[in-house]
Structure 1
Amino acid sequence: MRVLAFLDGTLADPDAAHIRVDDLGLMRGDGVFETILVTDGRPRELGPHLDRLARSAKMLDLPEPDRAAWERAVRAVLDNWSGGAELALKLVLTRGIDGDPEQRPTGFALGMEIGAAVLRGRAEGVAAITLDRGIDPGLAERAPWLLLGAKSLSYGINMAAIREAVRRGADDVVFTASDGSVLEGPTSTVILLRGRTILTPPEHIGILPGTTQAGVFRGAEKAGFATKVEPLRVDDLLTGDGLFLASSVRKLTRVRSLDGTALPAATEAHAELSAAYEAEYA
């Protein structure tokens, strides 16, 4: 099932054509997006997702998103959803039509079922590989025009990385910088378990600030875990007590192996952290 709504709150047929072929989001990937988990009609971290949408839009010199309009589109989708208890809600904003003198952006919200691969990963964990992202940790600050840390529609590299993982018999990827430090996954944030502490890399190195990671950290602190944001290296991931990938629809997914090396199952910690995360939205 899918439900499509535009920013004025009107619904549209998701199987019909609505985006012009000369829309810059299609032609050049010139736009931004967010994906939000909705459970029992309640979107998780809607405010932080809208904040991040605005942050990404600013990085791309797009008009500031009309927050009330986006909230209206979200409500239209949720009020008309008749599928399962969970859905993935995508918010998409593009620069609009190529050559439009008024520079009117295109925006819509789309509710979709969550894919089987995501659900399987939640239950069984995933095998991941490391891939060099080809950047150094200081590049984001030296070259802001590269848009590192923006959630843009230009996801060709991210999707190519996942295809490379599949070619190598894995499911997902942990990107690394040229100095070997850990960045993020193509669609996720890296979280490392070390005893009763969970760690994630800092966003200033050019990664997306994770909304789900923030929720996991809040819940973990209430459950008695310590949390740290600090640089990590691949050796840290291999010698830790558990490794997870966090994102809106995958929640907190366990990494079973990294580059063919089996990682600790961390079954109890994973269950405790997942329960603490879910308690944030109870």
Structure 2
Amino acid sequence: MTGRFALMIDPVAADVQRSDFADTFTQVDAAAPALSVGELSTQRGDGVFESIGVVDGHAQEVVPHLERLAHSARLCDLPVPNLAQWRQAIDHAAAQLGSGESVIKLILSRGVEHGPTPTAWVTAAPAADFSAVRERGVRVVTLDRGYDLGAAERAPWLLLGAKTLSYAVNMAALREAHRRGADDAIFLSSDGFVLEAPTASLILRFGDRFVTPAPNGGILHGTTQLSVYEYLAAQGFDVGYDRIPATDLPQADAAWLVSSVRLAAAITAVDDVPLPVEHTLTADLNRYLLSPRD
């Protein structure tokens, strides 16, 4: 099966400890009606999600995606998902996907307003073709996110470290980048530090050291970034996390946006200032990211 479909998960079974959850989810046609009009994920974006890349039927980086889903759920005061149940739903969905690249999305919402239980589902669909972007790279602009680096700790209700369904700001940032003639954006804190892209993590190279913004500044800990770091460390490179001033961004020897489905895209320019591009390393990274990883 290579078309779109969804699995509706029974959240009542979320706290049941058993090895077989096959009877706790139901496969449905992704085009068929399945959610109530009172569903808070559509009314208010009150929920969390993850997007998992699938290559030739193998779901990538499942463990870190599930751990991040649970982390986001805790930040949003949602019931902590039973990861074994979700893992079995992911495996069931991945087994039905054909060759090539696909994407599985995990969605957990607060459910129907005033309802007794949350709503949970998994969707599966073919992925967009990002081969050209991986080869040619992306031009980015920097955009002020409007919060300083300490906002996440000072105001946890902003949910800056959660991957929530409220993605209107992220999509608005991408539209603004396109209006400025760029492909993507990089958020900066209001006090002048580099953060992340609307749908990707940022990795910079300075000599033989690779660095990404520390995730304690209210940004997501990227699952693909973790995989890239595993590869780079195995090649003998120094990798780390840091607070990166925005003024360092155009001084990088190379830079990439990395995400679960697009994978690694080299940054060719920042605010119209060209950056060096390492085509060979980018190709190596994408070959690794297309290999089976759990």
Q: Could you state the TM-score of these two structures normalised by the residue count of structure 2?
A: 0.90
Per-residue deviation at 1:177? 0.3
Work out the percentage of aligned pairs sharing the same amino acid. Answer: 42
Among candidates 4, 7, 21, match of residue 5 of structure 1: 7
Gaps of 5+ in 1: none
Matched, 1:131 2:131: no
1:141 partner letter: E
Partner of 2:79: 63
SS in 2 for 1:22: coil
Cα RMSD, aligned residues only? 1.6
Change (3 A) 1:164 1:70: same
Residue 48 in 1 paired to residue 64 in 2? yes
4+ long deviations beyond 3 Å: 271-282
1:96-121 CA distance string (max 9 Å, x none): 00011x2x1111111122124x3332
SS state at 2:25 partner = coil
Q: 1:111 aligns with which of 121, 124, 131?
A: 124
Partners of 2:39 and 2:153 in 1: CA distance: 30
1:79 and 2:95 equivalent? yes
How far apart in 1 are the matches of 2:250 and 2:207? 14
Query: What is the CA–CA distance in structure 2 between the aligned matches of 1:78 and 1:234, rounded to whole Å?
Result: 40
Amino acid at match of 1:109: V
* Letter of the 1:158 counterpart: N
Structure 1 residues 157-196: aligned runs within 5 Å: 157-196=169-208
1:269, 1:241 → 2: CA distance?
12
Helix, strand or coil at the partner of 2:122: strand
String of CA shifts for 1:138-166, please: whole Å, max 9, x gaps: 11111111101100001110000001111
Aligned residue-pair number? 278
Q: Contact conserved, 1:9 with 1:72, CA < 8 A, in 2?
A: no
**8 Å contact kept, 2:141–2:270:** yes
Q: Answer whether contact 2:58 2:292 (CA < 8 A) is retained.
A: no
1:233 is aligned to 245
Q: Which moved more, 1:1-10 or 1:38-47?
A: 1-10
Residues of 2 paired with 1:280 and 1:4: CA distance?
Answer: 23
Is it true that 1:249 corresponds to 2:261 in the alignment?
A: yes
In the alignment, is the contact (CA less than 8 A) between 1:181 and 1:234 conserved in 2?
yes
**Which runs of 5 or more residues in structure 2 are unaligned?**
10-23
- Report the TM-score when normalising by structure 1: 0.94
Counterpart CA distance in 2 for 1:250 and 1:70 is: 23
Q: Who is 1:29 aligned against?
A: 45
Query: Residue 215 of structure 1 aligns with which residue?
Result: 227
